[in-house]
Amino acid sequence: MNVTSLRIVRRFPRTGLGAVLLALLAPTIAGGFAAAQTPAPAYKIVKRIPIGGDGGWDYLAVDPGARRLYVSHATHVVVVDLARDTVMGDIANTPGVHGIAFDHALGRGFTSNGRDSTVTIFDLKDLHEIARVNVGGANPDAIGFDPFTKRIFTMNGRSSNASAINPATGKVLGFVELGGRPEEVASDGKGRLYINVEDKSEVAEVDPKALRVLRRWSIKPCEGPSGIAIDVAHKRLFSVCDKVMAISDLAAGKLLTTVTIGDGPDGAGFDPGRGLAFSSNGDGTLTVVRTNGAAGYAVQENATTQRGARTMTLDPGTHRIYTASAEFGPAPAPTPERPRPRPSMVPNTFVVLVLERTK
């Protein structure tokens, strides 16, 4: 019920005919308010997939066609069979692994190994290692496949550049100099990459063929952006920072608006089938943002996950969201060398959380 109809009803007196009309219309009015105030279906944890073991983690990646989930875990990648929600394989010897990418045409997967600045190329069928490539930069973090150029790109945090790799030969084809520390990358599949430059609080638009920055723009008050997601149809980009999601207009190359999200995010996602953007936050929440295409943006909810669940991936077919965390003990006492020490992870508590929207 709109505001105009409410005002018309209130013009009737509360006696005689007015009272009768109000009595007749009351259920409609109440129903209108009820419909307007009914919350959207909530995202909830529907399953926990135990992974166990020790060591930290970073990104997760879904391979929808193979029904597999790849989970980075310190020095290896755990592979989960999503048909059974159980661990079915492992990619070993990926020291300091951050991210996972796929080239399905070649049947190959790729991991970014931050500790030794390499990429592991592996077979998507049996997971065996095919080759190991030195990226030529330092500390590759996020990794992505660009379908336009059919190249793999690593975001090299310590050398402030991105490496372009031929996925068939493993040859490094060149670098994109970013002038700052790159975090995650998103491709529009049409000849443009978008990269969060963390220490500049900027987005860099990159030509993945020419390997050069075309434009860059500030997304402040989003400071230190990490996770990134793209809405290709509406030319929108979602970058996440502490308590802020920055939404960029890709056609104009500028910040469009911001919305308030949870604290400590490191991952973002976009579900084109539902028109929702997501931020996975270290404070134990998943912020769900309603996009309404190009019309407007608003937080739909902050779903409960688990403290430390900072990264995420989304299966566009099932609309399921996957994130990961563990249980932690108390933080050690501060020292001059470590003034803000992190709490230690409780062994064998590492787990993948599966979230769905309730019906």
- Determine the pLDDT at residue 342: 81
Domains 45-54+225-325+351-359 and 57-218 share a fold: yes
Quick one: CATH architecture of 45-54+225-325+351-359?
Answer: 7 Propeller (2.130)
Which residues of the chain fall short of a pLDDT of 50? 1-38
pLDDT in tens, 28-63: 444 443 334 445 558 999 999 999 998 999 999 999
- Determine the pLDDT at residue 336: 86
- Determine the pLDDT at residue 343: 84
CATH number belonging to the domain at 57-218, selected among 3.40.462.10, 3.40.50.720, 3.40.250.10, 2.130.10.10: 2.130.10.10
Which 3-state string (H, E, C) describes the chain? Answer: CCHHHHHHHHCCCCCHHHHHHHHHHHHHHHHHHHHHHCCCCCEEEEEEEECCCCCCCCCEEEECCCCEEEEEECCEEEEEECCCCEEEEEECCCCCEEEEEEECCCCEEEEEECCCCEEEEEECCCCCEEEEEECCCCCEEEEEEECCCCEEEEEECCCCEEEEECCCCCCEEEEEECCCCEEEEEECCCCCEEEEEHHHCEEEEEECCCCEEEEEEECCCCCCCCCEEEECCCCEEEEEECCEEEEEECCCCEEEEEEECCCCEEEEEEECCCCEEEEEECCCEEEEEECCCCCCCEEEEEEECCCCCCCEEECCCCCCEEEEECCECCCCCCCCCCCCCCCCECCCCCEEEEEEECC
Give the start-to-end residue ranges of the domains of the chain.
1-38, 45-54+225-325+351-359, 57-218
